[in-house]
């Protein structure tokens, strides 16, 4: 499955939040899935800043193209929005790696 990783980005240390997504992506790869790591836009934003609304629009488009969403713990309006989009589209939302079915 292609799994969209949804988690906090702007609350707390942004670099640690990016690292958390990358670590999770590595685990998903080990489980045989293809992770989508939206926090990597951190580096794009550093070189070519965009408004928050633009990043949310881009993220929503990717959520719609994934097979599942993995919502990591933490307060995040953006991640909550991604989950709402997935649920509206009937895309499964998981909250732990253990919940994700084997490939």
* Farthest CA pair distance, the chain: 37
Is 97 in contact with 31 (CB distance < 8 Å)? yes
Sheet holding 68-71, edge to edge: 34-36, 2-6, 68-71, 93-94
* pLDDT score, position 66: 98
pLDDT digits (tens, 9 = 90+) for 51-88: 999 999 999 999 999 999 999 999 999 999 999 999 99
CATH number at residue 42: 3.40.50.10400
pTM: 0.94
Q: Domain range spanning residue 33?
A: 2-99
pLDDT digits (tens, 9 = 90+) for 4-58: 999 999 899 999 999 999 999 999 999 999 999 999 998 998 999 999 999 999 9
CA distance 31 to 38: 19
Q: How many domains does the chain have?
A: 1
Listed in sequence order, the DSSP H helices in the chain are 14-30, 41-47, 52-63, 77-89
């Amino acid at each position: 499955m292609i799994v969209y990783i949804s988690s906090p980005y702007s609350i707390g240390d942004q670099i640690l939040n990016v690292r958390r997504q990358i670590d999770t992506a590595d685990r998903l790869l080990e489980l045989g899935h293809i992770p989508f790591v939206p926090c990597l836009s951190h580096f794009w934003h550093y070189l070519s800043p965009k408004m928050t609304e633009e990043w949310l629009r881009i993220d929503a488009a990717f959520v719609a193209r994934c097979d599942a969403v993995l919502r990591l713990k933490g307060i995040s309006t953006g991640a909550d929005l991604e989950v709402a989009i997935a649920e509206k589209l009937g895309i499964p939302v998981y909250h732990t790696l253990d919940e994700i079915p084997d490939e």
